[in-house]
Amino acid sequence: MDRRKSLKLIAAGAVAAPMAIAACKADNNKDGQENKVADNKFNLDRNPDELKHENKLLSEEKFFTPHEMATITILADIIIPKDDVSGSASEAKVPEFIEFIVHDMPNHQVPLKGGLRWLDMHCLKTYNLSFKDCSNTQQMEVVNAIAFPKKAKPEMGQGVKFFSLMRDLTATGFYTSEMGVKDLGYVGNTPTQWNGVPNDVLKQYKLAYTDKELKECVSFNKAG
């Protein structure tokens, strides 16, 4: 099973509260930020109380520094890179999703901040560079050392816990985005056509439709 299929299983099995992640441009002016929040209008995805809560979170000061967001972006794209099916995690705005999540679920703040700090300290000791400034080869060496809990060395324990959380959040953020939903092939309440039990299944169980059933049933294979 490839990595993307594994992540689909993680996302499908996760129990997460539905949320819309709004792309909100940074505004140095507090009043301007409040005006932007006030422009959000009720829609079918949110009731007024949910919108009020979401707007409050979006108006809060950014939790991650630009350096930390750059690191999160690199990690997210390592976890879900762009392929011939869909774009990368960052193209699906997963880093913005993670920024939102730490405001909505503050219990993730310390593990993520601490994990990012651990990652940089490990890379500084190993390569004399922060994680984001390491080469792709060096970054993958670190990721491979913490991505597989059963194979990881004991001293990599904090890194393993951090990467597991990053992987879960990345999968959740990606597969609840428009891009990720399309990747899953989910079509929602789309009308379908039923032409009866497929012939190979009928043969497998030694069954068949009667002439009366075939005449009375509608076939969508017929034109008109």
Query: Where do the domains of the chain lie?
Result: 3-26+62-184
- Alpha-helical segments (H) within 80-108: 94-104
Confidence of residue 25 (pLDDT cuts 50, 70, 90): very low
Confidence at residue 37, expressed as pLDDT on a 0 to 100 scale: 38
**pLDDT-based confidence at 24, cuts 50/70/90?**
very low
- State the chain's mean pLDDT as an integer: 80
pTM for this prediction? 0.66
| Of 71 and 86, the one with more pLDDT | 71
Residue-level pLDDT at 34: 41
pLDDT tens column, 99-145? 999 998 999 999 999 999 999 999 999 999 999 999 999 999 999 99
Residue 46 DSSP SS3: strand
* pLDDT for 33: 42
Residues 86-93, mean pLDDT to the nearest whole number: 94
Residue 68 has pLDDT above 70, yes or no: yes
CB atoms within 10 A of CB 37: 18
User: Which residue matches tokens 């393993």?
Assistant: 160
- Is the pLDDT at 12 greater than 90? The verdict is no
d(CA 174, CA 53): 22
Range from 17-21, 112-116, 212-216 carrying the lowest mean pLDDT: 17-21
Provide the pLDDT confidence category of residue 7 given band limits of 50, 70 and 90: low
Phi, psi of 103 (to 5 degrees): -85, -40
* Gyration radius of the chain's alpha carbons: 24
